[in-house]
Structure 1
């Protein structure tokens, strides 16, 4: 039976992870390893300053106390699986909130997929875009479109049809609509995110300053061909972007050689 390793940066008890399990349990054996608490926006971070404990919750279900999604994938691949029985696929999600544009670099969801492809395992990151600071999710969103999409994509990959070369993964974003309202799937590039500075200064009872970093609205620079992930979601399409870990700016190599000399 095919095996899929799951993680989720929202934590082991995240509603998006539960939806992912529901979508995929009919098609494969699932092994779940997720952080014990929310690790959103932790990026591709690996814990090196303390030991990590792998706690068993149930059969094939584990949490790592204060671990990141990267920790979860790294530790599980090297300890829960024998070399000849590595998982056929890693899926990170379903994340609550978008992971588009440069937010991919912040994303713990994307990081789980990054670590998998570094270890030679095909991987997918999937995120549910939401409205109104995700109040729709909190009020009982059913993840119907996300579940339908990830089951379809997972089946294609498990059939031996992963479309990318090594060290590349699929980044999927799902619009906040029901399946009947979806216009289909668009293959997109990562968009150009525009950022604000949403920080809130507070004082504690001792008069010491502290800051909360807020949520930035999804604002982006329009692409010339309307072919980025943000624009696909706005038009009620599922966005699938191929992401590679090689961040070299090849166009600038010659310019930099001329500049340094």
Structure 2
């Protein structure tokens, strides 16, 4: 039986990971290793300054105390899967909130997929885009579209092969609509996110200053062919973007050599 390793960055008890487990349990044997608490926007961080404890929640389900999604991947791949055996697929999610454009670099959800492909394991990051700062999720979002998409994509990968090369993963974003409202799937590029200043300055009861970083609205630069992830989601399509870890700007190598 095929083996899928699951993680997320919202924490082991998040509703998104429960929906993911429900979607994938009929098609493969699952192992779940997730952070003990929310680690959103932690990026591709690895914990090096303290020991980490992996606690068994139930059969094939573990949480790592204060660990990042990257920690979850690194520890589980090298300790739960031994003798050269690796899972057939890693799926990270279902994240609460979008992971599009440059937000991919912040995302703990995407980072788990990055770590998996570094170890030669095909990987998917899947995120549920929200309306109204995710109040729809808190009010009982059913994840039916997300579950349907991830089940179909995972089945296809396990039956055939991973459709892209090494050190690359699939980044899936699900529009905030019901399943019957979806227009289909679009293969997209990562868009150009535009960022503002959503920080609030406050004073605590002792008069000490602190800052709170908020959530930026989803604003992006329009692409020439309207083929980016943001635009697919806006048009009620599921967005699937192939993401590679090689960040070299090859077109600038000759220019930089001339400049030096």
- Which of the five TM-score ranges fits, normalised by the shorter chain? over 0.9
- Per the alignment, residue 117 of structure 1 pairs with 117
- Distance in 1 of aligned mates of 2:83 and 2:159: 20
The two structures have a TM-score, normalised by structure 1, of 0.99
Q: Deviations over 1:140-193 (max 9, x none)?
A: 000000000000000011113210110000000000011110000000000000
Match of 2:172, SS state, is: strand
- Per the alignment, residue 188 of structure 1 pairs with 188
- Per the alignment, residue 98 of structure 1 pairs with 98
1:133 aligns with 2:94: no
Match of 1:83, SS state, is: coil
What does 1:172-187 correspond to in 2, within 5 Å?
172-187=172-187
Query: What's the CA shift for 1:202?
Result: 0.5
Segments ≥4 residues shifted beyond 2 Å: none
- Per the alignment, residue 238 of structure 2 pairs with 238
Match of 1:127, SS state, is: strand
1:57 aligns with 2:57: yes
Query: What's the CA shift for 1:138?
Result: 0.3
Structure 1 unpaired stretches of 5+: none
Q: Deviations over 1:235-254 (max 9, x none)?
A: 00000000000000011111
Aligned length: 260
CA RMSD of aligned residues (A): 0.6
Match of 2:114, SS state, is: helix
Match of 2:241, SS state, is: strand
- Distance in 1 of aligned mates of 2:154 and 2:85: 18
- Distance in 1 of aligned mates of 2:177 and 2:199: 30
Structure 2 unpaired stretches of 5+: none
The two structures have a TM-score, normalised by structure 2, of 0.99
1:149 aligns with 2:156: no
Match of 1:85, SS state, is: coil
1:224 aligns with 2:224: yes
